[in-house]
Amino acid sequence: MEIITKANYQTWERFYRANFINSLTGFKSINLIGTKNQDNKSNLGIFSSLVHIGSDPALVGYINRPIQAAPHTLANIKETGFYTINHVCPSFIEAAHQTSAKYDEGINEFDEVGLHEEYLGDCIAPFVKESKIKYALQLREIIPITLNNTFLVIGEIQTIKIEDDILQDDGFLHIEKSNSLASNGTDSYYSTSFLNRYKYAKPGIKPLKL
Ligand SMILES: Cc1cc2nc3c(=O)[nH]c(=O)nc-3n(C[C@H](O)[C@H](O)[C@H](O)COP(=O)(O)O)c2cc1C
């Protein structure tokens, strides 16, 4: 067992400390965000900082790094107001990781990494054809986080496409059946294994399996 204090980790080498802090928060869902710019050029990037904000209205947020570090996705979302979120599956894990490379503006990462664009409903932003769970979002709010120059980008869920057998009778998505992956830090990916679902918890009552 090791005890590490702020005074300790503040002295660490930059990349060592980043690996440590980035992986401390544990497994996250891993997703590709698809956008288009005003000139109709597509962009695709990998993002793990997704967070459920609320189900009614149906809001999802993600953290965008400082604009110099990750400029294109956020700029496109501001320009068009629409974007897609696509779960990552093992069959395209390397292509998904490659989208994190710093491609120049106007370079279409779909073409660069060998993924395919798909268009659904009236969403102008591209979906990832290979993804088994994907949804469009309309931008609702961008909250600047002045502490570190990042942004909480919040969108409302629009059209959703899900492969067969994933949607359960009670509305729950059995995402393990789509082999949706998790990540930790910015370089490690995990498959998941389902344990149990439990009934709504009540004080003093032992958790009951569904
Ligand atoms: C596993 C993984 C997770 C990432 N998660 C995020 C994230 O949540 N937010 C972010 O701004 N960048 C994240 N990145 C970095 C972006 O993918 C990278 O900066 C990308 O170039 C942004 O593209 P853009 O300039 O087209 O927006 C992540 C990278 C990897 C490899």
Q: Could you list the residue range(s) of the whole structural domain that residue 126 is in?
A: 28-190
Q: Is residue 117 part of a domain?
A: yes
| Number of compact structural domains in the chain | 1
Ligand 1 atom showing the smallest separation from residue 47 Cα: 5
Whole-number Å distance, alpha carbon 33 to ligand 1 midpoint, is 9
Report residue 165: phi and psi, to 5°: 80, -5
Ligand 1 pocket by Cβ (under 6 Å): 30, 43, 45-49, 62-65, 69-73, 97, 100, 102, 183, 186
Angle at 26 between CA 182 and CA 163, to 5 degrees: 20
Q: Is residue 199 part of a domain?
A: no
Q: How far apart are CA 129 and CA 100, in angstroms?
A: 19
Q: Are the C-beta atoms of 50 and 180 separated by less than 8 Å?
A: no
Q: Is residue 4 part of a domain?
A: no
SS3 state at 198: strand
b (16+ CB within 10 A) / e for 104-121: eeeebbbeebebebbebe
Per-residue pLDDT tens digits of the chain, which is 210 residues long: 999 999 999 999 999 999 999 999 999 999 999 999 999 999 999 999 999 999 999 999 999 999 999 899 999 999 999 999 999 999 999 999 999 999 999 899 999 999 999 999 999 999 999 999 999 999 999 999 999 999 999 999 999 999 999 999 999 999 999 999 999 999 999 999 999 999 999 999 999 999
Which residue's C-alpha comes closest to atom 22 of ligand 1? 70
Q: Is residue 104 part of a domain?
A: yes
Q: Is residue 140 part of a domain?
A: yes
Which residue's C-alpha comes closest to atom 14 of ligand 1? 47
Q: What is the CATH number of the domain that holds 78?
A: 2.30.110.10
Ligand 1 atom showing the smallest separation from residue 50 Cα: 8
Q: Is residue 36 part of a domain?
A: yes
User: Strand locations in 65-200, DSSP E?
Assistant: 82-87, 117-118, 127-128, 133-145, 150-162, 182-184, 188-190
Q: Is residue 128 part of a domain?
A: yes
Q: Is residue 70 part of a domain?
A: yes
